[in-house]
Structure 1
């Protein structure tokens, strides 16, 4: 009888325990979902694939033509630099930008992205210095070929590559085809661009002695809640 008595009381106790676990699990999931929502907002398109819209050719001097072709911004090879700059104000930090790019011809960088970093700017160079250097220009005055972000990678002509860049007050991170290639702490570091791409600020693409195409340009806020 004593055993039966305790078993009888144990049923509702077990049910209450299961209910508590379920409730805590639900709260945890809501918290995690909320944190994810605060961290990653919806992507916003910066290019409709039909017209240059808010993008404008940069007068570097000796630049090639900038046009729209097959859903992409086409930057024709110039004497040196050809580029397009975004005419609206982008975020200064806590954002991600993603895009696709390919080199049609040439032997140097085809995806030079200049972007804001707080009150300064930086450039992500892809395929520079003869076609292989990937890195940030500049950190403490050293460009993409001379600092700790320097990497050497091969790029095929006429192949689309996927790029994603994340900027926070602490770090700049960059991915190519979902592979992390830039993971740079920027606290207490001097972040600048080279003088050649000053006119690409605040947000712009450029190519050096190469014909390049850029498409699917999108941006989103990270690290803060939506308004």
Structure 2
């Protein structure tokens, strides 16, 4: 006859061993925020700074029509989103025009401090972030020349952390900028009307789809 205490200890030991052998639960995936779902523009507000083109839905796409000035729309729920340690992904194509077809204005740390990722500015190819220490995308370390073809989709990813701004065009990283101790701002002028989170163009018509924001963990 087994001693009751010994039997209980054996049962507990078996249970603990089973618990140790059980694989740890996978970490929960970061919550993804769908900013544009291809069904409506209810979460976006068009802004006219004088001569701006119309922003509309067409075939599940956000169409920012060409104007004589900056054209675009602000995401109305920006105050519900992270302002650092996040990624924004989207796909865009230029339908007509010769200037930037993506102007992604985004918060850096808080809703009052923002910058703008420009794709295709200054005649159709300059890509970079405006502004860093007062210098535009055409004049700072983030600047590069990229070839963009009309009516061709481009996948764009922006990552914001407290110390870094990074951008990928397709699978290629084109920006990796340390921002510690640097002044981050938008270019003075019309872009100041599109804070804190928006999509814009200049003298260009573009189509945009699959706009998402995902929180990330900054790598030490």
**TM-score, normalised by the number of residues in structure 1:** 0.81
Deviating 4+ runs (over 4 angstroms) = none
Partner of 2:191: 197
Bigger radius of gyration: 1
Partner of 1:219: 213
Number of matched pairs: 194
What SS class does the counterpart of residue 96 from structure 2 fall into? strand
Partner of 1:72: 61
| Alpha-carbon distance in structure 1 between the residues aligned to 2:145 and 2:97 | 17
Matches within 5 A, 1:82-161: 82-88=71-77, 89=79, 90-119=81-110, 120-161=113-154
* Structure with the bigger percentage of helix: 1
1:43, CA displacement in angstroms? 2.2
Among candidates 20, 39, 51, match of residue 62 of structure 1: 51
1:44, CA displacement in angstroms? 2.0
| Alpha-carbon distance in structure 2 between the residues aligned to 1:102 and 1:58 | 21
What SS class does the counterpart of residue 141 from structure 2 fall into? coil
What SS class does the counterpart of residue 199 from structure 1 fall into? helix
**8 Å contact from structure 1 (residues 47, 53) kept in 2:** no
**TM-score, normalised by the number of residues in structure 2:** 0.83
1:49 equivalent to 2:38? Answer yes
1:206 equivalent to 2:200? Answer yes
Unaligned runs of at least 5 residues, structure 1? 1-22
Q: Deviations over 1:157-196 (max 9, x none)?
A: 0011001111000101111112101100000000000122
1:112, CA displacement in angstroms? 0.5
1:42, CA displacement in angstroms? 3.4
Q: What value does the CA root-mean-square deviation take over the aligned residues?
A: 1.8
